Structure 1
Amino acid sequence: MKEETLKALKSHSNRSKARLSSMMNLPIEHCAQGCEVVDTQGETYLDCGGFGVFILGHRHPEVIHSVTEQLNKLPMSSRTLVNQTLAIASQKLADFSPASLEYTFFTNSGAESTELALKLARANGCNKIIALTGSYHGKTLGALSVTHRAAFRAPFEPLFDDVIFIERDDVTALSSCFENSQDTYAVILEPVQGEGGVYPLSVEFVRLVSELCKENSGLFIADEIQSGLARTGYDWAIDAYQVTPDIMLVGKGLSGGVVPCAAVVATAAAFEPINKDFMLHSSTFGGSPIALAAAIKTLEILARDSISEKAKAIGEVIVEKLTSLAEPAGIIVRGKGLLIGLDAQTPARAGQLTLSLLQHKVITSHSLSNATTVRLTPSALLSHSQIKQLTTACAAAFSSLTAMEQTS
């Protein structure tokens, strides 16, 4: 089965990805439940990967029930008649979002949300975009224009020419963009850079972004696609900075890990161009009833079960335990809630760490804009025994990495 699967992937999906899967001897996933994934050989893995999608784990029974009910009633919208599920989901997300973010447009992916945010920036008169080094906002052309990694950008250049990159937390560079400028800026940032290697931005920097955008008729775009929805120990990572953006990007965990779903949430002022003319932006599949049924139930669970508090508490335990274990191996642990980075210092060490953890039945995520960092993005529903399983596996992987280097 495995050889046939890899052959089909190589011939009809993607050669380079199939080649890498073969080289890493990756198993074939078969089913999942809660915090675990089972392969076709019956082996069980603790899922600490998934790029932040599974804050509620896999196949949360309440989300599955809501999706099944919607599937049996109206999975897709006619796009002509009134979509009641859209109305309910929009209000739910607005209520869960920071105050003043009142309007929602649902999309299918984070990159789509980035595209819409950039369109809103243009429609609101912003002719320049400020983005940060280490940023990752997606790989569609607009999103790629504000994503920093050169390897992703180079094959598709020239991209948008109205983007300025500054170092994260560089308040001097930020201020200089606005000083004596005739341009109107939109600033896009991740409060905690996930793909960049798990780097929370400084309070001073983020608050200055908010102030400068307000003072200069700019727009502050917070990309919470990965850091939002309880992932960093807050409902939204931006809550820790005590500021509210004009536009917020939402994704990953929005549908409880069941159906693709993402969104843009904005103030009435920022959303005004689309409020005036809904035809300015549309999506055939965005805001489908089946995805929104999942989102509605997920938002209910996040609020009802205090998932952000659980993520904060579990994350603190994991980071504390792993920090002492990682130090002898020269690995730096960075974390905010359940967005945790293991910085192995080199891409080669990060690759070896990924393989070693997989051998110890722990699935991780690599960092798309920082090849030295392996990320852990587990569910907030981890049990005590699963936390112990994770720390034991990490201890073994760290020791294995040290032993390998000592003998080489």
Structure 2
Amino acid sequence: MREETLSMLRSHSNRSRAKLSSMMNLPIEHAAQGSEIIDTQGQTYLDCGGFGVFILGHRHPEVVESVVQQLNILPMSSRTLVNNTLAIASKKLADFCPETLDYTFFTNSGTESTELALKLARANGCNKVVAITGSYHGKTLGALSVTHRSAFRAPFEPLFDEVTFVARDDMTALSACFENDSDRVAVIIEPVQGEGGVYALSSEFVQLAKALCVAHDGLLIADEIQSGLARTGFDWAIEAHQVTPDMMLVGKGLSGGVVPCAALVATAATFEPLNKDFMLHSSTFGGSPIALAAAITTLDILKRDNIANKARTIGLKLVAALSPHATKAGVRVRGSGVLIGLDAQNPARAGQLTLALLQHKVITSHSLSNANTVRLTPSALLTEVQINQIITACIAAFSSLPAKDLP
């Protein structure tokens, strides 16, 4: 079955992806429940991958039930008649967000939300955008224009003009972007860079970005696609900085890991161009009732079960347990809640660490904008047994790495 599957993938899906899967001898996933994935050979893996999607694990029973119910009633919308599920989901997400973020537009993916944010910035007169080195916001043309990694950008250049990248936490460089008062500027940040290797921005930098936007009639866009929805130990990572953005991008865990769903939320003032003319932006499948049913239930669970606190507790435990062993192996551990980076210092060691953890039945995520860092993005509903399984697997994987001193 495996060779037949790889052959079909090579011929009809993606040749390079199939080649990598073959080289890594990756198994075929078959089923999932909670924090575990079972392959076609019956082997069970602890899922610490998924790029941040599975904050509630796989197939949370309440989320699945809400999707099944919606599937049996109205899975897709006519896009003409009034949709009550959209109304409920919009209010529920607004209520879960920081105050003043009152308007929601649902999309299918994070990169779609980024595209809409850039359009809204333009519609509000911000023709210049400041992005951060190490950033990742998606791979469509607009999102790619504010994504920093050159390997992703180069094949498609020239991208959007008037995008300036400043180094993470470089206050002087950020301030310099606002020196020309005739320019209105939008700043897009990830409070915690996920694909960039799990780097948290400093509060001073985030607060300065907000202050500059207020002083110069600019807009602050917070990309919480990966860091939001309880993953970093806060409902939203930007809460740690006591700042409210003008727009926030939401995705990954929004539908509980069951149906694709993402969103943009914005202040009334920022959203006004769409409020004046709803035809300025649309999506055939974005905000489908089946996805919104999952989102509604997910938001209820996140609030009811205080998932942010669970994520914070697990993260502190993992970082404390792993750090001493990681340091001995020349690995840095960075973490915010259940978004944890294992910095192996170079891509080769990161690859070895990934394979070693897989051998110990732990699935990880690589970092798209930082090949040195392997990420652990598990569910916030891990059991004590599963937490200990991660710790044991990581310690064993660290010990298998060739020696390298931390600089």
TM-score, scaled relative to structure 1:
0.98
Following TM superposition, by how much is the alpha carbon of 1:402 offset from its aligned partner in structure 2, in angstroms? 3.5
SS of the counterpart of 2:401?
helix
The match for 1:194 is 194
Task: Map 1:294-313 to 2 at 5 A.
Answer: 294-313=294-313
Following TM superposition, by how much is the alpha carbon of 1:177 offset from its aligned partner in structure 2, in angstroms? 1.1
Amino acid at match of 2:342: L
Following TM superposition, by how much is the alpha carbon of 1:181 offset from its aligned partner in structure 2, in angstroms? 3.5
Following TM superposition, by how much is the alpha carbon of 1:176 offset from its aligned partner in structure 2, in angstroms? 1.0
Alignment partners' CA distance in 2, 1:3 and 1:324: 41
Alignment partners' CA distance in 1, 2:148 and 2:277: 32
Alignment partners' CA distance in 2, 1:126 and 1:159: 17
Alignment partners' CA distance in 2, 1:215 and 1:293: 40
Task: Map 1:319-358 to 2 at 5 A.
Answer: 319-358=319-358
CA displacement, residues 38-57 of structure 1 (integer Å, 9 cap, x when unaligned):
00000000000000000000
The match for 1:157 is 157
CA displacement, residues 211-268 of structure 1 (integer Å, 9 cap, x when unaligned):
1101111000000000000000000000000010000000000000000000000000
Alignment partners' CA distance in 2, 1:150 and 1:391: 34
Alignment partners' CA distance in 1, 2:98 and 2:267: 10
Name whichever of 181-190 and 38-47 sits farther off: 181-190
Task: Map 1:8-407 to 2 at 5 A.
Answer: 8-402=8-402
CA displacement, residues 88-125 of structure 1 (integer Å, 9 cap, x when unaligned):
00000000000000000000000000000000000000
Unaligned runs of 5+ in 1: none
Alignment partners' CA distance in 1, 2:353 and 2:177: 40
Name whichever of 177-186 and 124-133 sits farther off: 177-186
CA displacement, residues 142-181 of structure 1 (integer Å, 9 cap, x when unaligned):
0000000000000000000110011010000111111244
CA displacement, residues 62-103 of structure 1 (integer Å, 9 cap, x when unaligned):
000000000000000001101110000000000000000000
Alignment partners' CA distance in 2, 1:179 and 1:18: 49
Amino acid at match of 1:251: G
Alignment partners' CA distance in 2, 1:282 and 1:272: 15
Unaligned runs of 5+ in 2: none
The match for 1:4 is 4
The runs of 4+ residues in structure 1 deviating greater than 2 Å are none
Alignment partners' CA distance in 2, 1:374 and 1:334: 11
Q: How many percent identity over aligned positions?
A: 78
TM-score, scaled relative to structure 2:
0.99
Amino acid at match of 1:369: S
Alignment partners' CA distance in 2, 1:377 and 1:157: 32
CA displacement, residues 266-307 of structure 1 (integer Å, 9 cap, x when unaligned):
000000000000000000000000000000000000000000
Alignment partners' CA distance in 1, 2:200 and 2:399: 28
SS of the counterpart of 2:31?
strand
Alignment partners' CA distance in 2, 1:169 and 1:237: 16
Alignment partners' CA distance in 1, 2:334 and 2:182: 39
What is the number of residues matched between the two proteins?
Answer: 405
Following TM superposition, by how much is the alpha carbon of 1:182 offset from its aligned partner in structure 2, in angstroms? 1.8
Alignment partners' CA distance in 1, 2:293 and 2:186: 32
Alignment partners' CA distance in 1, 2:286 and 2:127: 27
Following TM superposition, by how much is the alpha carbon of 1:340 offset from its aligned partner in structure 2, in angstroms? 0.2
Amino acid at match of 1:63: V
SS of the counterpart of 2:231?
coil
SS of the counterpart of 2:402?
helix
Alignment partners' CA distance in 2, 1:133 and 1:402: 29
Alignment partners' CA distance in 2, 1:220 and 1:36: 38
Amino acid at match of 1:269: A
SS of the counterpart of 2:352?
helix
Amino acid at match of 1:46: L
Alignment partners' CA distance in 1, 2:295 and 2:153: 32
Amino acid at match of 1:96: F
Amino acid at match of 2:260: P
Alignment partners' CA distance in 2, 1:283 and 1:402: 49
Alignment partners' CA distance in 2, 1:238 and 1:166: 19
**Preserved contact between residue 31 and residue 38 of structure 2 (Cα < 8 Å):** yes
Alignment partners' CA distance in 1, 2:129 and 2:260: 28
